Structure formats: structure tokens, C-alpha cells
Structure 1
């Protein structure tokens, strides 16, 4: 789900503040510069991937 979808859902509920918040989030994300290769590499380490098997606790 993305910010535009969340804004649309808020609008359907009549939640003007929620709609404005998610539209602002979408605008900020769209204006952000692209990540550098170093940032992408760091995020890959930090973000858990469900496709990778989890290690059992010892």
C-alpha cells in the first residue's frame, strides 16, 4: 500500500487530516533524491527479507 492509496482511504472515511498527512508524505517522498549505492547496501543489511531463512535461536 502506498501513500496515495492511504490518502484515498482517508478521504473515503471523511478524514481530512489523514488525507492531508498522506498526501504530504507522498509529496516529500517524491521530492527526495535517489539513494546512493552505499545507502542501498546499508538498507539491504537492515531490512529483513522474508525470502531468507531465519536462523534458529541457540
Structure 2
């Protein structure tokens, strides 16, 4: 789900503050420069590590 979808959902609920927030997030992200290859690699490692199932400690 992206920021514009979340803004639309907030608008549908009548949540103007939520809609404004998500539209601001979308605008900020759109203004960000593209990620470098090194940043992409680091994010893949972090997302991959977060996607691994966690087991409860014994």
C-alpha cells in the first residue's frame, strides 16, 4: 500500500488530518533523490533480515 492509497482511505473515512499527513508523506518521498546502489543493497539486507521468521527463545 502506498501513501496515495492511504490518503484516499483517510479521505473516505472523513479523516482530513490523516489525508493531509499521507499526502505530505507522498510529496516528501517524491522529492527525495534516487537511492544509490549501496543504499539499495543495505536496504535489501535489512528487509531480508526482517522477513526471516523469528523463533521464540527457549
Alignment TM-score, normalising by the size of structure 2: 0.81
Q: CA RMSD in A?
A: 2.1
Mark the runs of 5 or more structure 2 residues left unpaired by the alignment: none
**Aligned runs of 1:23-38 on 2, under 5 Å?**
23-38=23-38
Alignment TM-score, normalising by the size of structure 1: 0.81
Deviation of the 1:20 alpha carbon: 0.1
Mark the runs of 5 or more structure 1 residues left unpaired by the alignment: none
Deviations 1:17-56 (A, max 9, x none): 0000000000000000000011011111110275xx75x8
Paired with 2:34 and 2:41, the residues of 1 have a C-alpha distance of: 13
Whether 1:18 and 2:46 are equivalent positions in the alignment is no
Structure 1: which 4+ aligned runs deviate by more than 2 Å? none
User: Residue in 1 aligned with 2:39?
Assistant: 39
